[in-house]
Amino acid sequence: MLMLVLTLIANPKSRDISTDLANEIASEVGINTVDWLGDGCACDIVLDEAASNIETVVGEMIAEAPIDLAIQKMEIRKKEVLIADMDSTMIDQECIDELAAEVGIKERVAAITAKAMNGEIEFEAAVEERVALLKGLDADVTDRIIENRITLASGGKTLVQTMKAGGAYSALVSGGFTTFTSRIAAMLGFDENRANVLEEEEGKLAGTVRKPILGAEAKVTALNEIASARGLRPENFIAVGDGANDLPMLQLAGTGVALHAKPSVAAQSKISIKHGDLTSLLYLQGYRENEFTDG
């Protein structure tokens, strides 16, 4: 019989899953055993496939508590490839907004970014519009931005390094720019990175981006190319992102996770994590906290 697993996940800083709540949920769905993956932070409850309305029932039981839940098939739960978005996923910022801050137009550019990430405007056109506003900016500004204003998202390095220790491959695939992804990928330990290329003229940004622009379809292409090169299928991937341009990738991957995502993206994704950090992707695969490593 094909088994299902219900995973409860909380933010590791608050660890809001009590033993009483976990046991109450297990009892409600007719299960006697709770398997703790991280104390107060994550647990598994293996389900009878025939059980119905579990997500609704458990959702009502956790109500407004800062706890995420996911129901998955046990089969092929642990993945062989991580494919991740960068901006507002592996880092806490949107790099193009930080570039715009250098020329005093962050709010203007951030408004366009928000619309693009929520799927309100076409992604590729939004990239071109925002990049054009950066014309004349010093091309070496990236180092200063990364040093002073970019922060790595909580749990990101642990996610990448723990999966690497387990033999997995990792790819950072962004609609942002290679000047950032190359550095962020190295900091976190990704095996490869793909992104758009900002064109330069005499040490300044030219206000253009090399074609073709890497958007939603390019992320799907990246997943398929990596799968083909490694003799895998999309179901062997776990993908994470937050924007509309990530959605096709999230829907194609075996486990697609919308992390602190825009509402329209969360609503259409297989799994939505609203409270946990990037270590949630490890718990979703059945990793235990005592297996975590930062490399």
Among this protein's residues, is 191 annotated catalytic? no
Cis peptide before 12 (omega within 30 of 0): no
Catalytic residue among 20, 39, 48, 85: 85
Structure tokens at 186: 């190295």
Among this protein's residues, is 35 annotated catalytic? no
Catalytic residue among 87, 242, 246, 277: 87
Catalytic residues: 85, 87
